[in-house]
Structure 1
């Protein structure tokens, strides 16, 4: 069995550890008790897909550690990541008698982590949250860094708050129940991290796609941990996304537009992968990176069977990109690759963004 990795995160608002390993659900109670010593009651929040798989062992582990558990589930799917679902969760937390000294445990993928995290941020003006990601995407991205949100009709993640978790526990064994399609989709964010900060990781991901059946789970522990370290380094330097943390949005300006325009029928990682390829192609044509950089990115994304482009019309993409929460007045901060392992922030007008979309998207 692989060794568990404990990765420290030190932000201005909170310091905590991210544990990555195998078989960690059984020791979750002890980990929570150590990280949150005053907590005696938790709301275990999960969705209708994940709860039947993992709620019971998590409940047992927490109860063995002397922590009472109230389990709250909601319907699975991005379409339920709404204020109405959040309101229902908050009402049920209040009915369960949770106090300010209690905590939320978020068990599931990115939607659950976002929903439960925002519930913790709002309940009694903020209680602790423990993130227990069960999808690869949540393990390498959304569970770390403190972003929480729900979607509005106008766009994705437009209502939210920052709340750093008190603990993150990523049990790689949970990935055994993730469908091959969802596992592949999650790799879009991993490829993004390689382009962003680590050429060695990028090369490793391209050489042996982690979504291949039978991929060594012990090796995956190390890859997930490296992704967490990359995000950790950025979040430690810029917790509130005022500067460097914006680089984590590589591929997201166009990717989020694709996701919203598809009415969220396409996976987030797939949309990020397509957005990454689109901005790389445009960057190569504009001289922001070499053509070889764009070619390597597209080839890596293609090796994972993820989309490298979009057939959504450009006017629609611009409309959704203009609604993005990263927009400031009539400009958007676009993250562009300069090399494999390095990016830069470029403030572009909406007209310049239209040109980027024209250059990078479609045939």
Structure 2
């Protein structure tokens, strides 16, 4: 097992070091840059798309922290820099907020050579990418994720969307960015809950793809919680490497890429059922992974009797919930089933789940409603 990184190494990190992970998608290929300080931004500058204007899309939490610095970096490269500041929160990931981006673009006469910059977490990244896919039938955009969840997951791979009251991320498009810039310094301002939410997405990569990484996470979870920069750097890089490999093999989620949704079918139901914003995405996914692990065992796929306990322990150490909530006091299982039937992986009315076959290898399976209902009735209590 990998030796745990200690929190004292934070001050010793090499701020000039830049990790590069490549997304290989032919003419849509792009790099993910991971680092800190001016060396990171000097490298990013070399990759800025050419354009007539830069449009920074951010929210009212992130803007006071990082918008000015990004504007200054862009002003020397683009003739015009525009800012769009949206309200912060999953509950604003909708048509009305998306239209605010279009209002500014049209009001500022932004043309086909405008470049959008998504400065924020997953909500901002998803909405900016969707706006870029739609505006004038497609303009370039750059991801500048400022949360751990966005750096390790939502900013990578070109899935863009908004929510619908009946389902999360149900309206969107596959549209790849030109560049992803992961500045590890932005993670210093993350609240503990947002950091843990990001760790939920980090942890999923072990059971679905790389158990050696899962073992590393077990050894280093306390360093990650303490925001040790070298531990975070490795976690971000390895997560991006895994996602890059999956996305490069299956860009439009027609097969392999579905494994990235481990825990998400249950998790999306939790988010929709509790009301968007009530549960952070990474928290809902964590509780969903526990249910998905139980389901894997019930289906006879989970062969390691100790793995489930290890997963729960790791999630708890990362500050994540492991108990899914009640969504309906009268018929909770049916409420979950109704919400999950709207999930993008459902086919012909059948709900499909990412399960472990075994830990370290994930597959997507159709599961009978009765099996899922029994599981939910066994595990979720008021």
Q: TM-score, normalised by structure 1?
A: 0.94
Partner of 1:255: 267
Partner of 2:362: 343
Aligned pair 1:109/2:121, yes or no? yes
Partner of 2:283: 270
Residue 309 of structure 2, aligned match among 281, 284, 295: 295
1:236-281: per-residue Cα shift (whole Å, max 9, x none)?
Answer: 0000000000111100111111111111301111111110011111
Counterpart-to-counterpart distance in 1, 2:266 and 2:188: 31
Counterpart-to-counterpart distance in 2, 1:259 and 1:71: 29
Aligned pair 1:244/2:256, yes or no? yes
Counterpart-to-counterpart distance in 2, 1:296 and 1:302: 10
Aligned pair 1:282/2:301, yes or no? no
- How far the C-alpha of 1:314 sits from its partner, in A, is 1.9
Partner of 1:5: 19
Partner of 1:97: 109
Counterpart-to-counterpart distance in 1, 2:226 and 2:343: 38
- Contact kept in structure 1, 2:200 and 2:286, CA below 8 Å: yes
User: Root-mean-square deviation (CA), in Å?
Assistant: 1.9
- How far the C-alpha of 1:66 sits from its partner, in A, is 4.0
- How far the C-alpha of 1:340 sits from its partner, in A, is 3.1
CA gap of 1:225–1:213, structure 2 versus 1, over 3 A, is: closer
* 1:327 partner SS: coil
Residue 53 of structure 1, aligned match among 42, 45, 65: 65
1:288-327 to 2 correspondence within 5 Å? 288-290=301-303, 291-312=305-326, 313-327=332-346
Counterpart-to-counterpart distance in 2, 1:210 and 1:105: 33
Aligned pair 1:31/2:44, yes or no? yes
Aligned pair 1:181/2:228, yes or no? no
Counterpart-to-counterpart distance in 1, 2:136 and 2:174: 15
Aligned pair 1:218/2:230, yes or no? yes
1:203-255: per-residue Cα shift (whole Å, max 9, x none)?
Answer: 12122225755432023112201000000000000000000001111001111
Counterpart-to-counterpart distance in 2, 1:248 and 1:90: 30
- How far the C-alpha of 1:12 sits from its partner, in A, is 4.7
Partner of 2:351: 332
- How far the C-alpha of 1:22 sits from its partner, in A, is 1.1
Which deviates more, 131-140 or 83-92? 83-92
* 1:185 partner SS: helix
Counterpart-to-counterpart distance in 1, 2:26 and 2:365: 26
Counterpart-to-counterpart distance in 2, 1:107 and 1:32: 15
Which deviates more, 261-270 or 303-312? 303-312
- Contact kept in structure 2, 1:283 and 1:289, CA below 8 Å: yes
Unmatched segments (≥5 aa) in structure 1: none
- How far the C-alpha of 1:359 sits from its partner, in A, is 5.1
Counterpart-to-counterpart distance in 1, 2:227 and 2:106: 43
Which deviates more, 310-319 or 223-232? 310-319
Runs of 4+ in 1 over 6 A off after TM superposition: none
Partner of 1:17: 31
Counterpart-to-counterpart distance in 2, 1:270 and 1:5: 28
Counterpart-to-counterpart distance in 2, 1:92 and 1:301: 41
How many pairs does the alignment contain?
A: 361
Q: Which has the higher strand share?
A: 1
- How far the C-alpha of 1:196 sits from its partner, in A, is 1.1
Aligned pair 1:44/2:56, yes or no? yes
- Contact kept in structure 2, 1:337 and 1:343, CA below 8 Å: yes
Counterpart-to-counterpart distance in 2, 1:304 and 1:56: 32
Which deviates more, 290-299 or 139-148? 290-299
Unmatched segments (≥5 aa) in structure 2: 1-13, 327-331
